[in-house]
Amino acid sequence: MAKPVVAVVMGSKSDLPILQGAFKVFDSFGVAFTARVLSAHRTPAEATAFAASAEAAGIKAIICAAGMAAHLGGVIAAHTTLPVIGIPVASEPFNGLDALLAMVQMPPGVPVATVTAGKAGGKNAALYAISILALSDPVLAEKLKEFRRKQAEQVLEADAELQDELESR
């Protein structure tokens, strides 16, 4: 089994459904990953130790999914120079707005890239991590280009079908 190059960290196991899309993307690209449940507030020592040791473990990017105050990405980013990608998770009472605002208001010098909230966020975070990895991996870069080509083909096929439907009216 390949050594993980991406770490996916969730603040709670209840965030797992959002991250399933990321896992599928990594599997389809052949990117090895690891996943952890660590909390910025409930397991701060473990979260910071994980972040501090991630680079030595061969991790090249970290994805953090968190809701509410969403400090997980910031805490992880504060303890590593690896790129950190945040996924805002919807939760009560603000339906994810609180998590989004927490992530996009990181202080200067400790960035957390932020992607789409919810299930689309898992997929986008994985694709963003892959684009980072592709900078130094030509095979992965070609897979990403092929993914984008296929994605464009699907949209154009849908457009052609729509045009045919409209013409046959």
The values of phi and psi at residue 89, to 5°, are: -105, 130
Q: Do 86 and 70 form a contact (C-beta atoms < 8 A)?
A: yes
- Considering only CA atoms, which of 74, 75, 105, 101 is closest in space to residue 88? 101
In sequence order, the 6+-apart residues with CB closer than 8 A to the CB of 138 are none
In order along its 169 residues, the chain shows pLDDT tens digits of 799 999 999 999 999 999 999 999 999 999 999 999 999 999 999 999 999 999 999 999 999 999 888 899 999 999 999 999 999 998 888 888 999 999 999 889 999 999 999 889 999 999 999 999 999 999 999 999 999 999 999 999 999 999 999 999 8
Q: Are residues 81 and 119 in the same domain?
A: yes
Domain count, the chain: 2
Q: Are residues 84 and 150 in the same domain?
A: no
Find the domain containing 40 and state its range. 6-136
Note whether residue 116 is domain-resident: yes
Q: Are residues 107 and 87 in the same domain?
A: yes
Note whether residue 121 is domain-resident: yes
